[in-house]
Structure 1
Amino acid sequence: MKLLVKLALPVLAGLFLVACASRSPEANAFGRGLPEEQKPMNLQDSEIKLVYIQTPLFNFYDYARLNTYRSGLIKLELFKYGQPIGSIRIKGSRMCILNECSFKWPISKKFFGPVSYGDLFQDILFGKDIFNGRGKIVAANNVVVQRFQQSGQVIYYERKPGHRLFKNLSTNVTIAIDDYNNPSIDNGVKNSLAIPETAN
């Protein structure tokens, strides 16, 4: 009997590990793949972004895909070396950062620190005014800047088409989001390996 238990335990542990490892990262709790609301037919918009995040929760600098869905779900899928590593999901009054999900306000406080509010990340993501437009000026070239002090911390927020930068100058929490511009688009410059001819 003891021999049977000794043999069965490693076999069961191995089956458990294999079963867990075979599930894709996007599988739901029942292993059936993507939730219905995240299927391609429900996608409204998808854009590639270059994202820099420096917060108490985590640091990230690489490409991300910003997806918006008909259901109201907003998903920023994070990549490292071209492989998905997690996502930030927002829907209604809830927000998930990597594997931690909660109501927006507590998770925003963990993400940004005490100077924050529930929709702060979403407002930065879509280039909206933060803190009700406090300290807002329109600088040259239509760059919108908000610089103000809140609860003893200095906040700097800059945005223009294709670029957003949020920085808490007191705590160094930084969020930068830029549109990805595909370098393969023909910009009129032709490169050639031929040796140029010189005029004599």
Structure 2
Amino acid sequence: MQKFFILWVSILVFFFTGCSTKHYTVSEPKLITLKTPKIKFADTGYIRHDETSVEVELFTAGVAVEKISIDSLVCVSSGCMSEEAFVKEYLYPDYPADTMRNIVLGKDIFSGRGKEEMCDGRLFQFIRNDEMDIIYRRGKGEIYFKDRLNSLIIRINDLDTNQSLP
């Protein structure tokens, strides 16, 4: 009898939690380029997000090769860490903790510092000091982040947008 009870409890737990997956409100295919100290990638991927979570899933030749999930923690194939630790390890130590999340979502970085709006609706941010030389632009189906001093590039394009490289 006890084995029967354990079996049913296990089935119910699996049914209610084991099969549950995160359902995002937005899921978009993109062309993604990442050049960071720990990730070198240029191919297709998906950007998924809702109000609190962001997920970047990277594909090479149609096979998922990496997933970056940003929620209360940032999880990659090598494990989970805080957003601050992720930014320090994967981007640059002097960046704010929410930098990766904001870039992927096309939001202001560095609290909007150096922000300019162009007449065509695109937004630019220029951030320059002794530690970084950042150009960050978004709009017209593109998100482009480049830090020349730290050799970082993050580029996300809509799949139907065929733009040449800068």
Ranked by relative contact order (alpha carbons within 8 Å, sequence separation 6 or more), the top structure is 2
The answer on 1:75 being equivalent to 2:75 is no
The answer on 1:62 being equivalent to 2:40 is no
The answer on 1:52 being equivalent to 2:36 is no
After TM superposition, the score normalised by the length of structure 2 is: 0.79
Cα pair distance change 1:150/1:182, threshold 3 Å? closer
* Contact 2:141 2:161 (C-alpha < 8 Å) held by counterparts: no
The answer on 1:177 being equivalent to 2:161 is no
Q: How does 1:101-180 map to 2 (within 5 A)?
A: 101-180=80-159
Q: Percent identity?
A: 27
> Rg larger in 1 or in 2?
1
Q: CA–CA distance in 2 between the matches of 1:95 and 1:104? A: 6
* Contact 1:53 1:174 (C-alpha < 8 Å) held by counterparts: yes
Give runs of ≥4 in structure 1 deviating > 3 Å: none
Aligned residue pair count: 147
Cα pair distance change 1:59/1:140, threshold 3 Å? same
> Cα RMSD (Å) of the superposition?
2.4
Q: CA–CA distance in 1 between the matches of 2:19 and 2:74? A: 16
How far did residue 67 of structure 1 move?
1.9
> Structure 1 unaligned runs (5+)?
1-29, 184-200
